[in-house]
Amino acid sequence: MFGNWLKTSVLMAAIIALFGVIGGLIGGKQGMVLALLFGGAMNLFSYWFSDKMVLKMYDAQEVDETTSPYLYNMVKELAGRAGLPMPRVYIINEAQPNAFATGRNPENAAVAATTGILQMLSARELRGVMAHELAHVRHRDILISTISATMAGAISALANFAVFFGGRDSEGRPANPIAGIAVALLAPLAASLIQMAISRAREFEADRGGAEISGDPLALADALAKIDAYARGIPMATAEAHPETAQMMIMNPLSGEGLAGLFRTHPATEERIARLRQLAGR
């Protein structure tokens, strides 16, 4: 728990620093101060509202034991096994099989699954996936995951803004257009690298924790194999438009084309499956 709070604090500090660099490029010292203030405000906003922003971005619909008893009761049973408060449960109308967890702590958590994953997986396999997402909640990964997704998107927007409104000289010409372009490219890259460093090891831990919660490591292994086989051929438009949210999913939802392929945030599926099979063997 302390480790995740430390990571979250470091991430927030790094993001504020990036805001300061871009603000300095746009408006010198005054721009840097304004950007730092804006970055601090964004951090506070992300802490309280980033989960709602992500769920709204994906047009996630909340369900209960009346509207979706199959999924809701499955999550309720697993949350009880994990010793967690009952999270809010959402369904996303997307054909690609995928799922994620979000929220600032276990008391304010939510899990979301696509219609594609509900249709594609067996009950046993889906149970393994939901246990994986609840492991993220129990490990308190969800805060740093959701904040990094929200802030990386803000950094990308601010960096692109710098290209058009970079610092000007006394005659109104760009003071340093090369620096502006460099920051516009490097700031989103830095944010993505932060996400990448955080999420790869985290997925292995959530796989292990999910196997423990469900009591069935092979169910999650089978689910990952099936999701990996189908997800690549089914695009998810929202994820492609907001690639900073990809690291929240149980499987990378991006097509891998263009720059998105550089920002791979998940370990190789084959390695995840191999570790789960080893765990089952023990």
Q: Helix, strand, or coil here: 121?
A: coil
Are 143 and 221 contacting, i.e. CB atoms less than 8 angstroms apart?
no
133 counts as catalytic: yes
Report the C-alpha gap between 278 and 258 in whole angstroms.
35
Point out the catalytic residue in the list 77, 107, 125, 133. Answer: 133
Cβ distance 213 to 78 under 8 Å? yes
* 8-state DSSP, 86: P
Cβ atoms 94, 58 nearer than 8 A: yes
Contact 32, 24 (CB under 8 A): yes
Candidates 268, 242, 239, 273; CA nearest to 99 is: 239
96 and 236 Cβ atoms separated by less than 8 Å: yes
Answer for the pair 136, 82: CB distance below 8 angstroms, yes or no: no
3-state DSSP call for residue 88? strand
DSSP state of 22: H
Report, as residue numbers or ranges, the catalytic residues. Answer: 133
